[in-house]
A = this chain, B = another copy of it.
Amino acid sequence: MAQKLFLLPGDGIGTEIMKEVEKVIAWLNSQGETDFSFDSGLVGGCAYDAHGEAISEEDMQKALAADAVIFGAVGGPKWDKVPYEKRPEAGLLRLRKDLKLFANLRPAICYPALADASSLKRELIEGLDILIVRELTGGVYFGEPKTITDLGNGQKRAIDTQVYETYEIDRIVRVAMDLARTRKNKVHSADKKNVMKSGVLWDEVAQAVAKDYPDVEFHHILADNAAMQLVRNPKQFDVMVTDNLFGDILSDAAAMLTGSLGMLPSASLGAPDAVTGKRKALYEPVHGSAPDIAGTGVANPIAMLASFAMALRYSFNLVALADRLEAAISSVLADGLRTGDIAQDNRKTVGTEEMGAAILKK
C-alpha cells in the first residue's frame, strides 16, 4: 500500500523548496524505490488568504491521516496585522498540538565544506554535531491562561502560563536518552530551576529518568549557561534536551553557530502507536519563510531536502535511502556548489532548481 505524504509548503520560499522535494519523491517512485502517494495543502498566510484560517479543517484531517507531513515555512510581513488566533504560526502550532508531536529533533551539524561560513573560529566548529531535543507540545506555548486583559486607564495585563507535568518531561527526556545511545552517549538537560518551578520539576524528572540510563552521561545545565557554553565551546555537547521555549532559542543559536542554517532539517515526532508502532511526524527546515527572497528562485533547498531525508529515516525506516540523500547533499557541497545564502569565492553559485537537480543526480 502506498505510503501517504502530505505536503504543506506554506509561505515565502516554502513553495519553491518544496518543489525540489516533489521531484525527489517522483524520482524515487519512478525507480521503484518507494511507493509514496502525496497530496498538498495550505498552511500559514496562504491558508489565511484562502480560508480565513491558518490551516483549514480539511487540511488538518489530511495531516492527521498522513504517514508523514512535510512542511515548508510560514509567515511574512503581509500577515503582520492578522488577528492573533489566525496568524500564520497558528497553523504550525495547531499541527504540532493536534498531531501530538511532542519531540522536536533539531540537529546542529557543521557541514565540513561550510565550516568557514560560521562566525565562530574554524577549530571550534569543525565536525560539530549536536542534537537538540526540544519538547514541542507543552510549556508556555500552550499553557492556559494565555490572555490580555484591559485594566482601564490605558493599562493592560498580559499573561502566559508555563505548565509541565511529570509525564511530559519523562517522555521527552527518554527520547533524548534513547537518541544519545545511538550517538556519543551524553545528554545535557537545560532548565532554569534556580528561578522556575517548572525547572525544578523538569530537573527532578530528568534526574530520575537518567537513573534508568546508567550508561548515558547525564548533566544538568542552566539554560542561560547553556546559551553561553554553546557560544564558548559547542563541541562539548552531544544531545541537549530542554523545554519548548528554551528549545526554540537554544536550537536557533546552535543552528546559527554551524554557519549552515540553510542546511538544517528538523523532525517533530509523536509517540509510537501502541498497536501499530507508527508515529505521527512532521518534517520541516529550521530556517523560516524568507519573504525577502521568495519567488526569486535563489532559496537554498538543502534544509528542506534534508528534512525529507529525516522523514525517510524516522517515518519509513528507509535508512539506506536517507543515507544516500544525505550523502548526495554533502557531496554536492564538497563539489563546490552553493546557493546564494552560502555563496563563497571560487564556488559556483546556483539557484534552487539547479541545486535540487544536482542533488537528485547524485
Contact = CB atoms under 8 A, between A and B. Distances in A.
Interface of A: 75, 84, 87, 89, 93, 119-121, 124, 140-141, 143, 146-148, 151, 154-167, 192, 194-198, 200-202, 223-225, 227-233, 245-246, 248-250, 252-253, 255-257, 261
A168 B171 CA distance: 37
B158 A198 contact: yes
A160 B233 contact: no
Tallying the copies of this chain within the complex gives: 2
B194 A75 contact: yes
Given A233-B119, A253-B227, A156 B165 contact: yes
Contact of A161 (B121, B161, B201, B252): B161
A53 B146 CA distance: 34
Contact of A245 (B167, B192, B256): B192
Closest 3 interchain pairs by CB?
A158-B201, A228-B256, A158-B198
Given A119-B124, A120-B119, A165-B155, A160 B256 contact: no
B245 A228 contact: no
Contact of A261 (B120, B147, B202, B228): B228
B162 A159 contact: yes
Given A146-B196, A160-B161, A225-B252, 7 more contacts: A75-B194, A120-B120, A159-B161, A224-B249, A228-B256, A231-B231, A246-B249
Given A195-B141, A233-B119, A252-B224, A164 B155 contact: no
A156 B120 contact: no
A165 B157 contact: yes
A71 B98 CA distance: 48
B252 A228 contact: yes
Contacts of A157: 163-166, 201
A201 B156 contact: yes
A324 to B, nearest CB: 30
Given A232-B256, A252-B227, A162 B140 contact: yes
Contacts of A224: 248-249, 252
